[in-house]
């Protein structure tokens, strides 16, 4: 089960594309940190490979340069089993490990182990974190207006959590509950529940899909999300069938920056209105509600999470 982890935080720009490593194309380098589901080149080659496969099923021979394109998995299956590189090795996450499962990652014990034990620790890369008025947001994360985030993973899988702004505003949480595996969540529906003492709040789902994993640690230690909002503090993982559509309703990069600046200003206005002497012009710290409870839990969650809570 063991595999040596590679620190790819400073991944070189010349990382060879999966299709290049498989020998399907001669020269192509990855520009999307191996997030193939976001890559137009990957989608184009998959379409071409599927077309060629269908032609062969009908007894026709694909023609031209594109007629030579096959799925990268099929090309690698031509190698002896001990020479077939694991997908995680191809993505520069581990040293060489052979794939013995015909590239059926969903049925692979190591793949499940890797996702559970490694991926969540490697979600945030120090060089990719934006500092917006003192609040952190990693580059490449999509943000929902209700202060939840979406991180794209393999295929149509995404990981979901709460952002640094909401967690620092509401302070250390006692418990975070997500729908169980197999349940469906809906974008903009309050599917996640957080607790602090006698207070409870519902949190809007940033995207729609079926739950494939939850973070069980958050049921007993909700403040893990406060400590590590973008890594160990993830809330749930889902499979989405309408990912492209849902992502259009989220923010990323400059949109996130503009949004959070406005949210910080709104929070300053609330503090100034309720506790005038507290807004001294400095950066906001942690546990804002805990230090200024007179602002009101219900008021904060209504204004910034867009839900009605007690």
In the chain, domain spans: 18-120, 124-310
Interval 251-275 mean pLDDT: 92
Chain center to CA of 151: 1
Q: How many other CB atoms are there within 10 angstroms of residue 210's CB atom?
A: 14
User: What's the CA gap between 255 and 144, in Å, rounded?
Assistant: 11
Q: Which of 82-96, 186-200, 250-264 has the lowest mean pLDDT?
A: 82-96
Mean pLDDT of the chain: 87
Share of the chain above pLDDT 70, in %: 88
CB 14 within 8 A of CB 29: yes
For the 124-310 domain, the top CATH level (class) is mainly beta
For tokens 């609330």, what's the residue? 270
Q: Is the pLDDT of residue 214 over 80?
A: yes
Q: What is the pLDDT of residues 268-299, one digit of tens each?
A: 999 988 887 655 555 778 899 999 999 999 99
Q: Is the pLDDT of residue 187 over 70?
A: yes
For the chain, what is the total number of helices (H) and then of strands (E)?
A: 11, 11
Helices (H), the chain: 18-21, 40-57, 72-76, 87-90, 109-117, 164-170, 223-227, 243-247, 254-274, 288-291, 297-300
In degrees, rounded to 5, the angle at the alpha carbon of residue 268 between the alpha carbons of residues 247 and 289 is 85
Interval 177-194 mean pLDDT: 95
């Amino acid at each position: 089960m063991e595999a040596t982890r590679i620190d790819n935080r400073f991944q070189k720009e010349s990382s060879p594309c999966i299709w290049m490593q498989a020998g399907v194309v001669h020269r192509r380098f990855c520009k999307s940190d191996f997030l193939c589901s976001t890559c137009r080149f990957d989608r184009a080659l998959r379409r071409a490979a599927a077309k060629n496969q269908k032609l062969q099923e009908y007894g026709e021979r694909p023609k031209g340069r594109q007629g030579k394109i096959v799925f990268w998995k099929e090309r690698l299956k031509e190698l002896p089993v001990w020479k077939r590189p694991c997908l995680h090795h191809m993505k520069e996450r581990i040293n060489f490990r052979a794939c013995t499962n015909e590239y059926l990652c969903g049925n692979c014990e190591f793949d499940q182990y890797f996702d559970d034990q490694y991926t969540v620790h490697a979600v945030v890369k120090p060089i990719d974190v934006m500092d917006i008025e003192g609040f952190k947001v990693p580059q490449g994360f999509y943000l929902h207006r209700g202060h939840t985030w979406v991180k794209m993973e393999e295929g149509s899988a995404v990981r979901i959590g709460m952002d640094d702004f909401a967690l620092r505003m509401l302070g250390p949480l006692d418990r975070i509950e997500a729908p169980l595996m197999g349940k469906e969540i809906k974008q903009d529906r309050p599917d996640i529940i957080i607790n602090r003492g006698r207070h409870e709040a519902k949190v809007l789902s940033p995207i729609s899909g079926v739950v494939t994993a939850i973070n069980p640690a958050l049921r007993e230690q909700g403040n893990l999300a406060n400590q590590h909002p973008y890594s160990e503090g993830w809330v749930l993982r889902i499979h989405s069938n309408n990912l492209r559509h849902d992502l259009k309703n989220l923010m990323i990069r400059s949109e996130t920056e503009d949004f959070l600046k406005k949210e910080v200003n709104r929070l300053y206005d609330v503090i100034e209105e309720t506790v005038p002497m507290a807004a001294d012009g400095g950066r906001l710290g942690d546990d804002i509600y805990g230090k200024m409870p007179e602002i009101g839990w219900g008021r904060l969650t209504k204004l910034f999470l867009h839900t009605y809570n007690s």
